[in-house]
Structure 1
Amino acid sequence: MTFTRRDTDETRTALHALEDNRSSTRLRAALTLGTNPDPRHVDALVERCAVEPEFFVRDMLTWALTRHPVAVTLPALLRELRSERAQARSQALHTLSKIGDRRAWPEITLALLTDADDDVARSAWRAAVVLVPEGKEPALAAALVTQLGRGGRETQLSLSRALVALGDVIAPALRAATTAPDPRTRAHALATERLLRDPDAGFAFAIEEAKRVVALGGAGGAGGAGQEGR
């Protein structure tokens, strides 16, 4: 960590405390640096995001970064999207979604949307939905639909929420996915359709109902292509 003469004692202490063994101390340090934003400290905050083990501290680091000028934070975060460290990519995407500056959109690549790391992919889905320019929603929906059936319940719920956030534009791509060869993909597509029609429906109920439909041969299964089995 590099200090300058212009750093106050409080700031110097906070910068050093970002590496403290105690999570409560790191949390206070991030709060201090966000309360007293200084563009010279953006790199230190971004670097800490990539290695910070505690979720609530990472969230405070993100908040601190949102307090700084976008002209400084945006380039630093975009560099992190090419990091070999999954957490660096994931946290940078999360922070970009909170900042909401659409100049980041070109960097939300298909590689990130399909990243092998579930945390990175989930962060990319959320960021993409926030940053997508008007008119690009159908292309984004088509990319996101390729991930249907991926991962466990948490990952599938994240993807469904991202798709539903795009609105009715997802309907054609989602309908096509209900006839996919993979039963997990079909079930996930059906559950997402249910959430699109009824946002208040619980995902657990929707996915279990969709699995029953697929098991009975509905929505692309044998004996009922295109039917919902009801």
Structure 2
Amino acid sequence: SAESGCDEPSYGQFKNTALGASFDSFGSERYLLTEDNRSLRQIAGQVPYDTILIMVNHQRYGGGGIYNLYCTFTTDNQWHEYLMLHEFGHSFTGLADEYYTSQVAYNDFYPRGIEPVEPNITALLNPAELKWKKLVTPGLEIPTPWEKKEFEAIDLAYQATRQKINEEIARKKREGAPKAEIEKLEAESEQLSLEQSKKVDEFLKKSKYAGKVGAFEGAGYAASGLFRSAVDCIMFTKGKKPYCPVCQEAVRQMINYYCQK
């Protein structure tokens, strides 16, 4: 690329890069995609490939993954390892986002009364035919009660604060505020993110359902009506953690598909 980084439309900043990657995709400040499919395929086509990962040299938190197309992630952010695995889960395996407290650009993404095609979330229209029933922990109730209200009390307040800080950063960048002011806010945002991640990890690890497979309400951007298979997973919260058993099985099946097993 002629310049490092990527476009940040909400900040009024644009870069000359090989793939034209940009934040603010679909109106979400952290969603990072490229629409220059021609350049992407010309570059990727220089060697055989099964999947495409686009690394973006940027400190800002962001990424994106579209099934059977590509995934992106920023490399200079403290969450780069998580971002790579999470977005890869979308692009390689077709996994759904399991979180539901973060702000997204789309509401009611999954129509009510219709079973999602993704392997790791369900509308639980027929509990007896749960798509991951073979992996359910024996004796576990379906749907599975969990500490949902307590989790929401912890996370929703953080999400509101995070949004305010991000809006303030965007405003200052557009107005050309002093670099020191912007960097102070960015550092505050990163520290807040780290502290919140630790708090959430500690809370979920203490859950009586930690490590078990069931059907936990709250998934796919919806607080109700959609269920995920585990209390925590890399598709649910940030951090150094594995895919849950259901997501692991989905990844395994996709690898077997490519290996023609």
Same-fold call, TM cutoff 0.5: no
Richer in strand (by share): 2
Higher relative contact order (CA 8 A, sep 6+): 2
Query: What TM-score, normalized by structure 2, do the two folds share?
Result: 0.28
